[in-house]
């Protein structure tokens, strides 16, 4: 239980779900944390970490805003002496607005948070890590970014962009020792997917949630956090530019029931 001992990690989107699970896990593994979100529940995550004996600083703000991302990196350096791990986890789904009803502003906001936010994390975290010759940057993608059938058009495009980002970024960081990888979650019960779960439970179909993947079940946040711990630790020291799908096998086929227009 010390795979991140002596290291500092930034986690965005840490108010709930995957981010909160990761904050608790990383702290239990020895990391000092700077956590961020724009939701008030971020304070609850910080309290959980602190009560368990972890070191944590919570900053409220927008992960798609460059000045805020810079402040996260700067706080990690000033508070804990450096930066070893940055997880650009914050994201929004935008729902399932049909393609012909979506507006440019709708698309722009999803891309700003999901893709530009990840870019900003890579940009500023890597600048802090390069002088040390090492570091791990993790971005949250999605199986929706791999192929159709797991999300709306704008969300899927933003996550496909994240997958491309980690590939191009790791090559731009050639020779620096800084690694960039992504995790592509499948159907996980979080605040973002709450409408899906609430609807299924209201219909009495809870047992069918996740039935389309080979494990025939949905996932929980700690299963994504465990994958991120691997990427944050030295156990993944030769993993770079990759997107790891944690989805019960869903992305092997993305089966989906289609509706005619």
Question: 57-72: string of b/e by CB count within 10 Å (b at 16+)?
Answer: bbbebbbbbeebbebb
In this prediction, residue 149 carries a pLDDT of: 79
CA-nearest of 79, 73, 203, 92 to 154 is 92
- pTM for the complete prediction? 0.92
In this prediction, residue 258 carries a pLDDT of: 61
Q: What residue segments make up the domains of the chain, in order of their start?
A: 8-246
In this prediction, residue 191 carries a pLDDT of: 64
In this prediction, residue 201 carries a pLDDT of: 61
Residues 6+ apart with CB under 8 A from 125: 10, 73, 83, 86, 135, 137
| Full pLDDT tens readout for the chain, 261 residues | 799 999 999 999 999 999 999 999 999 999 999 999 999 999 999 999 999 999 999 999 999 999 999 999 999 999 999 999 999 999 999 888 899 999 999 999 999 999 999 999 999 999 999 999 999 999 999 999 998 877 899 999 999 999 999 999 999 999 999 999 999 999 887 666 666 665 666 676 666 666 778 888 889 999 999 999 999 999 999 999 999 999 999 898 866 666 665
Question: 118-137: string of b/e by CB count within 10 Å (b at 16+)?
Answer: bbbbbbbbbebbeeeeebbb
> Which position among 155, 174, 218, 238 bears the catalytic label?
155
CA-nearest of 126, 109, 20 to 65 is 109
In this prediction, residue 200 carries a pLDDT of: 60
- CATH annotation of 8-246: 3.40.50.720
Q: Report the alpha-carbon distance of residue 9 to residue 104 in Å, rounded.
A: 34
In this prediction, residue 261 carries a pLDDT of: 59
In this prediction, residue 238 carries a pLDDT of: 98
Active-site residue, 174 included: no
In this prediction, residue 214 carries a pLDDT of: 86
In this prediction, residue 193 carries a pLDDT of: 62
Q: Quick one: which H or E segment has residue 49?
A: helix 42-51
Residue 123's DSSP bridge partners are: none
Alpha helices in 100-220 (DSSP H): 104-111, 117-129, 153-172, 194-202
Question: 170-185: string of b/e by CB count within 10 Å (b at 16+)?
Answer: beebeebebbbbbbbb
């Amino acid at each position: 239980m010390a795979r991140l001992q002596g290291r500092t990690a930034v986690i965005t989107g840490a108010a709930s779900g995957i981010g909160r699970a990761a904050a608790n896990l990383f702290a239990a593994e020895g990391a000092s944390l700077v956590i961020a979100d724009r939701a008030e529940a971020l304070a609850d995550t910080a309290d959980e970490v602190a009560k368990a004996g972890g070191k944590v600083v919570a900053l409220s703000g927008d992960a798609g805003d460059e000045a805020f991302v810079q402040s996260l990196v700067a706080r990690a350096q000033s508070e804990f002496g450096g930066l070893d791990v940055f997880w650009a986890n914050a994201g929004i789904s935008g729902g399932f607005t049909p393609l012909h009803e979506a507006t440019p502003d709708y698309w722009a906001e999803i891309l700003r948070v999901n893709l530009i936010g990840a870019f900003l994390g890579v940009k500023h975290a890597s600048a802090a890590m390069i002088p040390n010759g090492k570091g791990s940057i993790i971005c949250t993608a999605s199986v929706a970014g791999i192929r159709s059938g797991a999300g709306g058009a704008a969300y899927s495009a933003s996550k496909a962009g994240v997958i491309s980002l980690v590939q191009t970024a790791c090559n731009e960081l050639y020779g620096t020792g800084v690694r960039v990888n992504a995790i592509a979650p499948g159907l996980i019960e979080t605040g973002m997917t709450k409408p899906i779960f609430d609807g299924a439970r209201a219909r009495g179909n809870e047992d069918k949630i996740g039935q389309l993947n080979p494990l025939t079940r949905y996932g929980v946040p700690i299963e994504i956090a465990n994958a991120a711990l691997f990427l944050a630790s030295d156990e993944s020291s030769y993993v770079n530019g990759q997107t790891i799908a944690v989805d019960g096998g869903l992305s092997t086929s993305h089966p989906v029931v289609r509706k005619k227009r």
